[in-house]
Amino acid sequence: MKLEKFPRSTLGFWPTPVVALDRLSDHLRGPRIYMKRDDQSGLALGGNKTRKLEFLFGDAMERGCDCVLTAGAGQSNHCRQTAAAAAALGLGCHVLLGGAEPAVAQGNLLLDRLLGAQVHWMGAHRKGEDVERVAEDLRGQGRRPYVIPYGGSNPRGALGFVRAAEELASQTEQAGLDIDHVVFASSSGGTHAGLLVGAMRCGADYELLGIRIDKEDTAGKPFAGEILDLACRTASLLELEVVIDEAMVQLDESVLGDGYGVVGDLEREAISLVARLEGIVLDPVYTGRAMAGLIRRVRAEQFDSQEHVLFWHTGGIPAVFTYADALQAPATAPAQ
């Protein structure tokens, strides 16, 4: 089935640029590294969730919903982009955040409030455990809520990354660029599943490598299995007859550090290297960790120096400012 058959609300600026990271590639003396700039997606400071939200809000609008609900961590990039999308389309927005209300709203939380979202504090629940109960309350008040899952990761949201794989294919074709590996942060699985299906659909021959960010499994299911399941359901939503097996879901679980959202030396070094060599800002939770995973592999000579590796910058910029202390700790300074 064609992607155009699915309702979509345009929320971002596409295509996002693909840039060559020459100074980083030279410094690491490994493969040539490129970057897909979804941090520049254009929706309220950008990020990968914009792609999923285009299809999710398309569906919400078609169903005549008047508000959306979603969930995430206190500094959720997904919730902030959802709040921006709801504002742009004139829908109400409820975000269910993990933790307790801080004394001062910073980063993504500050933006959630500026964008007019109603924030609910959920304590230990940061993955939408209570979203149906809040939706039911809203229905009781005569509202028509649309529930967006944690990270926007269901088959409809993943269509955003099926589309992204097509976008990348047309960019690389135009540039005459042959990508061998695509590396990205993987956390709720929608980016990974969508790219898997999208790459198959457009016959791309690069290898996909998700760098796992969050060591906690959701609902007790192993993460790779969850990605596989989501990829299969996304393919069937598209009526695409393909076989996707577990071996196609490649996850690097070697940079989980001290858990979700905890910045260590690896993330600090990766963020500092990319900032000083390329003038590009990575975030502390996702892209900093994913880049640390990429750098570790380059240093372990797991890529051929003739290869081309594309790092997908999935955003997360507003969280940088909430990690001021952790990011100012000394990191190894790169060469000039």
Ligand X SMILES: *Cc1c(COP(=O)(O)O)cnc(C)c1O
| Catalytic positions | 76
| Residue tagged 């598209």 (tokens) | 238
Q: Which of residues 69-108 bind ligand X (CB under 6 A)?
A: 77-78
Q: Are 77 and 115 in contact (CB under 8 A)?
A: no
Q: Are 255 and 269 in contact (CB under 8 A)?
A: no
**Interface residue with ligand X, options 286, 303, 311, 323 (CB under 6 A):** 286
DSSP bridge pairs for 19: 35
- How far is the C-alpha of 165 from the C-alpha of 113, rounded, in Å? 33
**Interface residue with ligand X, options 16, 108, 172, 187 (CB under 6 A):** 187
Between 252 and 283, whose beta carbon lies closer to ligand X?
283
**Interface residue with ligand X, options 45, 115, 185, 238 (CB under 6 A):** 185
- At how many degrees (to 10) do helices 155-175 and 223-237 cross? 80
**Per-residue x/- track, 150-179, ligand X (CB under 6 A):** -x-x--------------------------
Half-sphere exposure at residue 227, Cβ-oriented, CA atoms within 13 angstroms: 28
- How far is the C-alpha of 303 from the C-alpha of 305, rounded, in Å? 6
Least Cα distance to 164 among 335, 25, 313 occurs for 313
CB of 142 to ligand X, least distance (A): 32
**Interface residue with ligand X, options 30, 58, 315, 318 (CB under 6 A):** 315
CB of 192 to ligand X, least distance (A): 6
| 316 part of the interface to ligand X, by CB under 6 A | yes
CB atoms within 10 A of CB 181: 21
| 270 part of the interface to ligand X, by CB under 6 A | no
- How far is the C-alpha of 295 from the C-alpha of 208, rounded, in Å? 16
| 6 part of the interface to ligand X, by CB under 6 A | no
Half-sphere exposure at residue 54, Cβ-oriented, CA atoms within 13 angstroms: 23
Helix, strand, or coil (residue 120): strand
Between 27 and 271, whose beta carbon lies closer to ligand X?
271
Q: Which of residues 222-261 bind ligand X (CB under 6 A)?
A: none
**Per-residue x/- track, 28-67, ligand X (CB under 6 A):** -------------------xxx------------------
Between 187 and 272, whose beta carbon lies closer to ligand X?
187
Note the residues at the interface with ligand X (CB under 6 A): 47-49, 77-78, 151, 153, 185-192, 283, 286-287, 314-316
